[in-house]
Amino acid sequence: MRPFILLLTILLISINFLSCENSKEPMTLIESGISKTLAEQRKANIDEVKYNIKFTIPNQLEKAINGENTISLNLKNIDSDLVFDFRNEAESVSLVKANGKEIPPQVENEHVVIPKEYLKKGANEITIHFTAGEQALNRNKEFLYTLFVPANASTAFPCFDQPNIKAKYKLDLTIPSEWVTCANYPLIEKKENENVTTYHFEETLPIPTYLFAFAAGKFQKISTTHGGRKMTMYHRETDEDKVTNNAITVFDLHAKALDWLEDYTGIPYPFEKFDFVLVPAFQYGGMEHVGAIFYRQRSLFLEESATVNQKMSRNSLIAHETAHMWFGDLVTMDWFNDVWLKEVFANFMAAKMVNPNFPEINHDLRFVARHHPAAYSEDRSLGTHPIQQKLENLNQAGMMYGRIIYQKAPVVMNQLEEMMGKEKMQEGLQEYLKTFSFGNATWDDLIAILDKKIDMDLKTWSQAWVKESGMPHYEAQLKTENGKIANYNLSLKNKSSGGNIWSQSTAFVFSKNNKIERKSLIINDKEMDVDFLKGKDTPDFILPNGSQSGYGYFELDKKSQSYLLENIYSIDDEIIKFVAWQSLFESMLRGKIEARDLMNTILKSLPHEKEILGLSARLNYLEEIYWGFLSVEEQQQFFPTLGKDLWALMEKSKTKDIKKNLYNTFVSIAQSEEDVNVLFEVWKKTKKISGLKLSENDFTTLAYELAVRNYKDSDNVLQEQLKNITNPDRKVAMEFIIPALSNDVATRDAFFEKLKAKENRQKEPWVQRALSYLHHPLRADAAEKYILPSLELVQELQKTNGIFFPKGWTSTILNGHRSAAAAQIVNEFVKGLPEDYPNKLKNKILQSADRLSRRASIQD
């Protein structure tokens, strides 16, 4: 596959060179993708862009989708040719007209070129007839949907695929008459002609290509009106109870989010309509297309047994996507290097919105639970990068996304708000949105607005937190004399910090006999003594960071660490407990605490956990240590009754959420014959768990878990489970995953081979689920041989799959492994990468390999 693609590229380039030599005027070879230079040239010369796009979508998957795009635009000069982006074969362009005159189609290295002699200064009209490339059209038998972020609109139709050439779109869609459709703007009219219907949509306000979207197919439609605003939801769920149980809440959450945002921003919802489409196996949780948000169906239609956590996640997702209508859609980044900005705002707003809906929840705890562990998982790795990255070509834009953007940036934004105050921050954001409405803006534009509002050097702060990489590592040293503190010192340990000191404000905490004292502390030096502690009685423990706003690895002094390993469960304050746990876990990752000691601390604390967020964080640590850091011998020798203990704790627990979390961990770690039999009995429904209702997905998971443990009758279990599934989308998902679970190695090998073809990797959530079993720790030895060829595929995945897939792929694979040999494979692969290997992609691999390489270095 790979050599073939390479060959094709070389061939293409040489043909282009040949044609250069033959033509009268020498042409420059246009770089593939969208280089920053091309984007800047176009932005300077082109405005007032309107696309009039027509697509004809046939019923049969094998028939091509034909399109026409008539683009009107204004040119400030005609010194150079006009270059459209179109990442499809040259033959797919069948006709080009420039200002009424048909001209020979000229397609060069992913671009359609209109020579300057056919152009004029001022208004121009270009018409292009083409066959659509299907990479971003997600065609299925009964439906299709577009997903153009970050720069994939140009795979489907010729356009200026950069975020700062915003355009008005007028879409005409011809589809089979039994289908329905949803696009960015309302329908004007539809005309039926035999078996097909043409839908004419209203012209949009200026939006970037990555937010232009439509879905079409066999969808169910439900509409409702909230405060005079009509909303329509499209979905493909066949379980009517599930739809009834969820629909009202889903509409209501959207309506509340819209009201909240109108109020916070002082700007009414900026677009014409507001609908959403629920797509089975959608690549992301959601995507904020103007007026037509697309979601993964499962993220919004929850099971009846859904936990409070899942409900909050749904609420956050809805709030996040709705916030994008202002942050991202109304004001768009200038270039994809600032993609983090729209994401951080969406998360930041979502956190503000979701809180009042769950008064029973400790939101500071939720913030720290949702952000810090995930952010640290990438920021501590060798593949870390600054929040704001450099981006030379949009064909690398998909690699900008990750936890540094989604989880670290909100922590940084929170610190900014803390320094500015909530009101000043809101004022600043309102000014930013008003100033740049329907246009584009950069992070520096925002900092310039905020800088005027406070007395602080925001530029230096932004340099450390936004423009440079890594997380601070502070080490604490405690000296005591006669039961009193002689000195407490914090020092920055980062080797490559340069001038960075990551100034931040934290809550300093010290505790004696369960009496906690807090003091705010500003850390703004590489080395500092905490003077207010001098002479105090030696406390049980000290935490330099005891709040949700601090960020970094705070390595505790030895006395505090050993106290907490024994007694952490007795801390009442959930935030303090959470950040203390983080310090211990980070120390375990660095070999400063034994994995099995921390495991014992977790087991000791579980019966005391009353707060679901705390409990689930501890259970995550448990699973991570159990599968990632303990050898099989250690598992058996030191934790022989782990399953039994978890089960007993689950039976005793009163709350549904806590029960479900303990149940999930039991399913994950069950290994003894007795525990595996329990899995079977639960699946067979001969064993019931009082107070816990399991869903169809839970039973499917049980069937998978039995199979991966080579349970005696697992083939029949899988087949029977498959028969029990009625929803056709879930049925095909299971059929796809089953071969990855086979206890026949040849079947698993064949499954892995299949993944090398891009058409078998389209359903990304299915692929990831299958990979998690293919590389399950229990089968890691046999799966080691897949690691290298999987890593070799990563560069291709970046071209053929969604933006989160390369990281998802490598993490899912590497998280199953813990052997030194596996770490070695990754190591050598990374070392052997050619110099021109995309650095951002290498970072994704290094991020994914963090746990594996830490485990290997601890073993050394």
Q: What's the Cα-to-Cα distance from 190 to each of 67, 180, 193, rounded to whole Å?
A: 18, 11, 10
Maximal C-alpha separation, the chain: 94
Cβ 288 to Zn ion, closest distance in Å? 6
Task: List the structure tokens of 53.
Answer: 């796009």
Helix (H, G, I), strand (E, B) or coil at 567: helix
Interacting residues of 473 by C-beta distance below 8 A, sequence separation 6+: 492, 493, 494, 552, 553, 555
The nearest distance, CB 357 to Zn ion, in angstroms, is 19
Cα–Cα distance between 136 and 426 in angstroms, integer? Answer: 37
Q: 88: closest CA among 134, 128, 120?
A: 134
**Rounded CA separation 86/82 (Å):** 13
Instruction: Give Cα 800 to chain centroid, integer Å.
Output: 17
Give the nearer residue to Zn ion in terms of CB position, either 114 or 346.
346
Closest of 370, 245, 408, 306 to residue 847, by C-alpha? 408
Q: Binding mask 683-702 vs Zn ion (x if CB under 5 A, - otherwise)?
A: --------------------
Nearest distance, CB of residue 329 and Zn ion, angstroms: 11
> If residue 221 lies in a helix (H) or strand (E), which one and from where to where?
strand 220-226
841 binds Zn ion (CB under 5 A): no
Q: How many CA atoms lie within 13 A of 97 on its CB side?
A: 12
Nearer to Zn ion, 161 or 343 (CB): 343
DSSP state of 327: B
Q: Which is nearer to Zn ion, 401 or 663 (CB)?
A: 401
With contacts defined by CB under 5 A, name the span among 56-64, 129-137, 335-343, 701-709 that binds Zn ion: 335-343
Closer CB to Zn ion, residue 346 or residue 767? 346
Contact window for Zn ion (CB under 5 A) among 223-231, 336-344, 651-659, 773-781: 336-344
Strands laid side by side in the 196-201 sheet: 101-103, 93-98, 122-131, 66-75, 46-56, 167-176, 196-201, 187-193
Site for Zn ion in 337-366 (CB under 5 A): 343, 346
Give the neighbor-by-neighbor strand order of the sheet with 515-523.
515-523, 504-512, 541-543
Helices (H) and strands (E) in the chain, counts: 31, 28
Give the separation between CA 465 and CA 388, rounded to whole angstroms.
9
> Between residues 342 and 380, which has the closer beta carbon with respect to Zn ion?
342
Task: Report how many residues bind Zn ion under the rule CB under 5 A.
Answer: 2
Give CA–CA dist 110/673, Å, rounded: 57
Least separation in angstroms between CB 293 and Zn ion? 10
Angle CA(55)–CA(59)–CA(65) in degrees, nearest 5? 30
Mapped onto helix, strand or coil, the DSSP state of residue 505 is: strand
Integer Cα distance of 189 and 328 in angstroms: 29
Residue 232 tokens, joined: 């329509």
What token pair was written down for 83? Answer: 């270059």
- Judged by beta carbon, residue 81 or residue 343, the one nearer Zn ion is 343
Radius of gyration of the chain (CA): 28
- Reduced DSSP (H G I as helix, E B as strand, rest coil) percent helix, strand, coil of the chain, to 5: 50, 20, 30
Least Å from the CB of residue 346 to Zn ion: 5
Give how far the C-alpha of residue 860 lies from the chain's centroid of Cα atoms, to the nearest Å: 33
Least CB distance to Zn ion at residue 340 (A)? 10
Strands 286-287 and 220-226: unpaired
701: number of Cβ within 10 Å: 19
Q: How far is the CB of 320 from Zn ion (least distance, A)?
A: 6
Work out how close the CB of 232 gets to Zn ion at its nearest, in angstroms, rounded to a whole number: 22
Site for Zn ion in 191-250 (CB under 5 A): none
- Name the closest residue to Zn ion (Cβ): 346
Task: Give the residue with the Cβ less far from Zn ion, 294 or 335.
Answer: 294
Q: How far is the CB of 299 from Zn ion (least distance, A)?
A: 13
- The answer to whether 387 contacts Zn ion (rule: CB under 5 A) is no
CB of 617 vs Zn ion, minimal distance in Å: 24
Identity of the residue, 324 or 854, whose beta carbon is nearer to Zn ion in the bound complex: 324
What is the phi/psi pair of residue 408, to 5°?
Answer: -75, -45
Give the distance, in angstroms, between the CA of residue 284 and the centroid of all CA atoms in the same chain: 7
Cβ-Cβ contacts under 8 Å for 593 (sequence gap 6 or more): 561, 565, 584, 587
Nearer to Zn ion, 346 or 791 (CB): 346
- The phi and psi torsions of 797 (rounded to 5 degrees) equal -55, -40
Min dist. Cβ of residue 366 to Zn ion (A): 18
Positions 398 through 457 that interact with Zn ion (CB under 5 A): none
d(Cα 75, Cα 67) in Å, to the nearest integer?
A: 24
Question: With 0-12 CB in 10 A as exposed, 13-18 as middle and 19+ as buried, what is 254?
Answer: buried
- Best CA proximity match to 312, nearest among 602, 616, 667: 616
Give least dist CB 285 to Zn ion, A.
8
User: Residue 363 CB, nearest distance to Zn ion (Å)?
Assistant: 20
Looking at 23-129, list the stretches that DSSP marks H as alpha helix, in order from N- to C-terminal side: 36-45
Contact residues for Zn ion (CB under 5 A)? 343, 346
